[in-house]
Amino acid sequence: MKLVVVGHGMVGQRLLESLAARAATRDWEITVLAEETRRAYDRVRLSAYFDGVSAEELSYDVPAGVDLRLGEPALAIDPGSRKVTTAREMLTYDALVLATGSYPFVPPVEGADRPGVFVYRTLDDLERIREYAAGKRVGAVIGGGLLGLEAANALRLLGLATHVVEFAPRLMPLQVDEAGGAVLKQYVEELGVVTHLGAATTAIRGERPGSPANGLVLSTGAWVPADIVVIAAGVRPRDDLARGAGLPVGARGGVIVDDGCRTADPAVYAIGEVAEIGGRCYGLVAPGYAMAEVVADRLLGGAATFPGADTSTKLKLLGVDVASFGDALTPDKAATDRLDVVYLDPANKVYAKLVLSDDARTLLGGVLVGDASAYPTLRASLGGELPAAPLTLLAPAGEQADISLPGTAQVCTCNAVTKDQVLGAIAEGCCDVPAIKSCTRAGTSCGSCVPLLKQLLAEAGVVADKSLCEHFSYSRAELFDIVKVRGLRTFSQVITEHGTGGRGCDICKPVVASILASLHNEYILDGEQAALQDTNDHFLANMQRNGTYSVVPRIPGGEITPEKLIAIGEVARDFDLYTKITGGQRIDLFGARVEQLPQIWQRLIDAGFESGHAYGKALRTIKSCVGSTWCRYGVQDSVGLAIALELRYRGLRAPHKIKSAVSGCARECAEAKGKDFGIIATEAGWNLYVGGNGGFRPRHADLLASDLTTEELIRYVDRFLMFYIRTADRLQRTSAWIEAVGLDYVREVIVADSLGIAGELDAMMAQHIGSYHDEWKATLDDPVRLSRFVSFVNAPETPDPTIQFTRERGQIVPLQIGTVTPTGSVT
């Protein structure tokens, strides 16, 4: 039998995966018609594209046996003859599934067709926005809902000053109430986004008819300048195929289906945003997934029905946690019908509301803004009896509360996985979160239930093995304390007194080396220390793909004199090195052979440079904008602070690399909120953010403290770094560490000194600063240390003959055997 699926978005993909899981390819010959030229991707994480996540990383793999036709949309369907027409051919079907989703709604605003006006829906839209935004200064978003704030964040990430215009009196009017909207507005405006609430856009203007947009006219009479405009005013069901085929549609759009997701034609189904079920269309992924599962079952002869829609949402917008679940926004009823329990912490901008039944026992809904850590437990409790007192669930102390959910509670709403199903998977041998994900699908969509999965593992008695490796039964944090308290200074002492097996392994040796370096700050290549180091530390340089090394001198804050700039250029020229200016405001020199490293560094040190520690798990850079010294928007000296901090923390060894940035105003040109610790200037001082990072899984940093004096700021950064170094796991970034221990806990330790160790952390940092030495200068001053920098021990003057280069754009690059050169020849 032949199945044709029209549309390949997230819901269409879920249908294919569900059919594949049921081995349906034996019963159905499946063809998918996709309008986009790329396969389905995670539309929920669309904005991550501007954070460095590639389209490939966002895309899904298509199950085997599926004929996916990209760029070949369905043009018409004929239910009578069971045929689908495309631009290329006419396909017959035994069953047809419409998964066409929705299209962006563009309100009838004068000038909406001007150049520079975009919608925010697909990856192609995002690429067009990014291309057009180059060189622009100001952007505006029409729509302050979920999608509008996503678009606003995208414009910010592109470096534009951003405005948001929303017709409703609050942001995200469909998800949060008035009080929650006020807290959200405070968060958003602190990021430099200007909000215009209770205002409609009446026109998009340009300098003349047909010219690019340069601003908006609002119903209030206000003028909003904008070089680029993004419309995110909602979506409409894409039901044109059904209309053309005569299938019934709803009054407000959407193909009408029954509880089995079947249209008026028994051979045609509709799922996702295009389907109207129970008189409503749903724009969330969880109901769409549920519909996909229903149709997969029906296609194989089952009788599954739509279980109802879960409209709960949890997301992070502009770095702010926002969650809504259940009946949270229904206009107030009589006092006897429901009770509202509200928690408000203005100091930390946290708002929460729970809607309870009149007997205060059943949870009906809720809103969370600023801190959504309680969402997994609350969502799983929806419609049932509360597992603890309401304020216990909302307040920070709730993290330690004794909370027990019934087995029927849905732990993962995206994939309809209950607590009993998770516990069943654990009983069958799933002993960690990845195993539970693989077995049940819980946590594989939005990920908001992952903290609850960890709780259930603990509830089931699964104890996570914290052993560092087979040689040490301690975690890294425990081993750090042992080495510190015992005053140990060598790996031999550590493993003899507190480990097993005298040699260690590739896991524990670098960890112990890092701990010793963090505590004692001694030269890392002396004695047995040298054998503990990773490859990069072994030669104080990063090894590249062709066996050469990179040279990265420190340039604090990105500030450099012409003389030093010339010195770097002369070294690069004389040693014929590839030269690259990095995103971290440094200059990398690539292509140095190991025996050349001492000669190169001697030249650089003579010119006043020192090691940039690009090779170590240590502080890398502290990026800065030009700040108040040059920029007309700057309110503090970001360059001066960045230089002072980079010199203060240079050489600081840690469980993972550390990056930082200082922005001189809320425009955030230094991208401080994507760093392990980031600092943003305010009129009153500095805001300190922690736990951010880019890379494979980008994360925005969280606000630790605000409006700090420079002295307070340095004190808190000192303590933050030392507390992280002391307690983090092996190779754990600050982002993962923050998520594991909790921001509130870190704040209590750093700011309030809840553990009484602030003085100890201060002393540790003082010891580091007082013992700092430049590793390359120490190397050049010692002939014994220099002796290791050779390609061949028995022929120290001989360069490695396997290292070969070619030239591209006037510089050397590694010669790749069997590759095509820009001229078309094969090497």
* Residues tagged in the binding site annotation: 625, 631, 665, 669
Identify the burial level of 638 via C-beta atoms within 10 angstroms of its C-beta, where 0-12 means exposed, 13-18 middle and 19 or more buried: buried
Tokens of 169: 């009196």
> Three-state SS for 89?
coil
- Phi, psi (5° rounding) for residue 563? -60, -45
Binding positions for [4Fe-4S] cluster: 625, 631, 665, 669
Contacts of 550 (CB under 8 A, 6+ apart): 541, 542, 544, 588, 589, 590, 592, 614
Nearest to 268 by CA among 34, 65, 81, 464: 81
Nearest to 179 by CA among 369, 393, 337: 369
Binding positions for siroheme: 669
Beta strands in 279-395 (DSSP E): 280-281, 313-317, 320-326, 338-345, 350-357, 363-369
Tokens of 46: 């669309």
Residue found by looking up tokens 């997994």 in the block? 376
Residue 682 region by backbone torsions, left for phi larger than 0, else alpha for psi between -120 and 50, else beta: beta
Tokens of 488: 């140990």
Beta strands in 625-667 (DSSP E): 658-663
For the chain, the helix, strand and coil percentages under 3-state DSSP, each to the nearest 5: 35, 25, 45
Identify the burial level of 292 via C-beta atoms within 10 angstroms of its C-beta, where 0-12 means exposed, 13-18 middle and 19 or more buried: buried
Tokens of 459: 């509830």
Contacts of 810 (CB under 8 A, 6+ apart): none
Identify the burial level of 478 via C-beta atoms within 10 angstroms of its C-beta, where 0-12 means exposed, 13-18 middle and 19 or more buried: middle
Distance of CA 695 to the CA centre of its chain: 8
Residue found by looking up tokens 């206009």 in the block? 331
Decide if 611 contacts 602 (C-beta within 8 A): no
Q: What is the Cα–Cα distance from 183 to 370, expressed in whole angstroms? A: 8
